[in-house]
Every structure is written in structure tokens, then in C-alpha cells.
Structure 1
Amino acid sequence: MDEARDALEPREMRAWMAFLAAGHLIDHQVERQLKHDGGLSHAEFEVLVKLRSAAGRRLRMSDLAREAMVSKSRLTYQVTRLERAGLVKRSGCPSDRRSVWAELTDDGAAALDRVRPGHRRVVRETLIDVLSPDEIDLLGDALTRVADRLHER
């Protein structure tokens, strides 16, 4: 490991610290809105969103974990909470006894409908409206490159 190369220059440190601060603050605002409007955590909201966009509003738990970018154990915890609330149901997969499906219920879809307007408002107020159209494009391109690099690993 080359410590001299790994050290961050002042402008790099500024970018890193701003990324961390903005990410934490935006996540806090989103979490607050989701809890207030629907009693959901941000992670639970993401699970519901992934299920709603899936064919038949259902995914295998392993695929859902990959889509939501969480560990299988963390996903099991979230889905258990959502299932207790009646927002998701689990069922066995007839073609593969080792697989379990997670499916969005009608109540889960209704919960998403309740929280989505506020979620969009918070995203717009905390990020989109602060940036110019060019900055939005630049941010989208830059963070896509970062995500692509991490997915490759």
C-alpha cells in the first residue's frame, strides 16, 4: 500500500467530506419523511419500490437482496417487518424449494402511494432544486461511474 498516493489532497478531502455530509443529511431527511408519512424506514421503502417495479410485484429473496443492495440477513429482517405490517408476503417457489418469493401486497402498494409524494418532494428540495441541470447530469454521470466500479468488484 502506497500511503503517499492514498493520502487525499485538500480538494479531494473536501469532495469526500461534502459527499459524506450531503449523503447523511439527505438520508436523514428522507428517513424522517418516510417515518412520518408511512412508518417506513428508508431501507423498507427501497424494498417496496423494488418489489413494485418487478414483474408480478414479486422477486426471489436472493434477487431482491441484490436489487436492494443489502445482505440476505438484513433483507430477511426488513421483509419480516414488512410482512408483519401486511405490506409484503413471502411464499415458497414451486420450481426451487430452496427459494422464497417476496411479494408486494395491495396494502404495500397503498403504503408506497402514501409516501411517494413526500419522498419526491424531499428529494427535490434537498438535492435536485439545489443543482443546475448541468450539475445534475455531472453528478449522475460521476456517481454512475462510482457504482459501476464497485459493482465490478
Structure 2
Amino acid sequence: MAANATATALEDRWRDILAAHARTLCEIDRALHPHGLGASDFEVLDLLAAENPQAGDQCRVQNLVGRVHLSQSALSRLIGRLEKDGLVERTVCAEDRRGVWVSLTGKGRALHARVLPLQRAALERSLGQVPGQALGQG
């Protein structure tokens, strides 16, 4: 009986996590949609801005794969769309022809800076006040 209660509690917690994730992604998507971005688009721009704080800095696409919660092929398609929109540039790694570098363009850096407060506000709305929990406690 205790095993069933533990399993049920674990399943309930998992469903709560999934619900918070879905709610947060929808909130971010709503906030960024007027700017032509979705949550995953922003996540890539945000990671590139953090990894490449200076104009011209580059990041290997491979370094983004485990951080954006997309498959490698979905990430490649997303980067292709961002490149088509002029927000990122891709170049082949000279040392390893299989590797691909990606960097923010000036347009991408400006858009990221413009929508960053919108994304952070969406996070705050969605995750800032967890019932019965202080922010930062788990």
C-alpha cells in the first residue's frame, strides 16, 4: 500500500512539473510571438548571448544540443530559421569540418536585448509565485 502511495505521489509531482513547464512555455510564447519568436527560438538566442557576450564570438552548435531540449535535427532546423531571419550566422569549423559554429548577428543581439525583459517577465508570472513555496526553494 505504501509503495502505491509513493508511486502516486511521484506521478503527481511529475505531472505538476509537466504542467508548470507547459504553462511557462505558453506564457513565453505569448509574450514573444509579436516579435516573431517562440520560446525555443529565444532559448537559443539567450544561450548564444550568454556564451558569446561580445559581437563576433562563436559557439559550437554541439554545445547547444543538450541545453535547449530539442533533438539535434530540430535544433539544426531552428538555427536554419534563425539564420534565414538574419538573427544568427553559421560557419564551418576550420579545425573540424564536421563542426559548425553559430553566432549572433547584430540584428539577433538587438532582438535578444529587446525581448529579454519580456521573457523574464513571463518567467516571473509563471514561476515567480509557486503556491506554498518561496522562490528558490525546492
TM over 0.5: yes
Q: SS where residue 135 of structure 1 aligns?
A: coil
Give the structure with the larger helix fraction: 1
Tell which has more relative contact order, 1 or 2 (C-alpha 8 A, sep 6+). Answer: 2
Q: SS where residue 78 of structure 1 aligns?
A: helix
Corresponding residue of 2:25: 27
Work out whether residues 90 and 102 of structure 1, in 8 Å CA contact, stay in contact via their aligned partners in 2. Answer: yes
Kindly indicate whether residue 46 of structure 2 is the aligned counterpart of residue 46 of structure 1: no
Q: SS where residue 99 of structure 2 aligns?
A: strand
Q: SS where residue 137 of structure 1 aligns?
A: coil
Deviation at 1:16, TM superposition (A): 2.6
Deviation per CA, 1:122-146, whole angstroms, max 9, x where unpaired? 11122113457x632223xxxxxxx
Deviation per CA, 1:2-32, whole angstroms, max 9, x where unpaired? xx95885443343233222222112111111
Q: SS where residue 135 of structure 2 aligns?
A: helix
Q: SS where residue 136 of structure 1 aligns?
A: coil
Q: Distance in 1 between matches of 2:125 and 2:4?
A: 35
- Which sections of structure 1, spanning at least 5 residues, go unmatched? 140-153
- Which sections of structure 2, spanning at least 5 residues, go unmatched? none
Q: Which residue identity lines up with residue 67 of structure 2 in the other structure?
A: E
Corresponding residue of 1:77: 77
Q: Distance in 1 between matches of 2:66 and 2:24?
A: 23
Deviation per CA, 1:27-54, whole angstroms, max 9, x where unpaired? 1111111112x21111111111111111
Work out whether residues 52 and 58 of structure 1, in 8 Å CA contact, stay in contact via their aligned partners in 2. Answer: no
Q: Distance in 2 between matches of 1:88 and 1:42?
A: 16
Deviation per CA, 1:66-93, whole angstroms, max 9, x where unpaired? 3334322111100000000000011111
Q: TM-score, normalised by structure 2?
A: 0.82
Judging changes above 3 Å, is the alpha-carbon distance between structure 1 residues 131 and 6 closer, same or farther for their aligned structure 2 residues? closer
Identity across the alignment (%): 33
Q: TM-score, normalised by structure 1?
A: 0.75
Corresponding residue of 2:128: 128
Q: Give the total of aligned pairs.
A: 134
